[in-house]
Structure 1
Amino acid sequence: MSIVSIITVGDLKHAEEIARRLVGERLAACVNILPSMRSVYRWKDRVEESTEFILLVKTEQRVFEKMKRRVLELHSYELPEIIALDISEGLEGYLDWISSNVE
């Protein structure tokens, strides 16, 4: 099953590095890097704010654990956001393309 994984990173350099590695290592078919946004969150009993980038990672459920481990190796955060959403519907050819470009 195809999924979209959402990952936040602190700067464009890390966003590009993670995206290139995931696609290059066939852990993702495509990664979109969304421009900077503001995040407000609770961390260690404090309300924090920071500028982050969002990675939208198109991949397959079958490689999610491997992809997650790779992101953890590359990521600069102590506890990065790495979540996944099932793609329940989509253009069949596009979903086939995702599947055929992920190992």
Structure 2
Amino acid sequence: MMLHVTTTCPDLDSARSLARAALDARLAACANIKPGLVSLFHWQGRIEEEAEVQLVLKTSDLRRAGLVALIEAQHPYDVPVITWDAVATTQAAADWLLAETL
């Protein structure tokens, strides 16, 4: 099983920085960065609208807690929203993921 851990970042540089830190620490096997996201959200009593970059990190359940801790420690937001979903994948992809995150 593969997990997709997702967060949003204020810009491409911060998403790249988080991705590289996760990859360097072997907490993720792959990072996908998607610029061009527009987010609307409640913040401090107002509805805000901001351009953001989505970061999706592919990891295993064994590495999820460490990856979430890394994101929380290095993220530029006061309250980064971090979610994760289990996704089905091929056996070859699952094997690759485990080999790259051990």
TM-score by length of 2: 0.95
Paired-residue identity, %: 29
Cα separation, 1, equivalents of 2:61 and 2:83 = 12
Q: 5+ unaligned residues in a row in structure 1: which ranges? A: none
Q: How does 1:9-88 map to 2 (within 5 A)?
A: 9-87=9-87
Say which SS state the counterpart of residue 79 (structure 2) adopts.
Answer: coil
1:50 Cα deviation after fit: 0.4
Say which SS state the counterpart of residue 32 (structure 1) adopts.
Answer: strand
- Corresponding letter in the other structure for 1:20: R
Aligned residue-pair number:
102
Say which SS state the counterpart of residue 14 (structure 1) adopts.
Answer: helix
Aligned CA RMSD, in angstroms, stands at 0.9
Moved segments of 4+, more than 4 Å: none
TM-score by length of 1: 0.94
Report the equivalent of 1:90.
Answer: 89
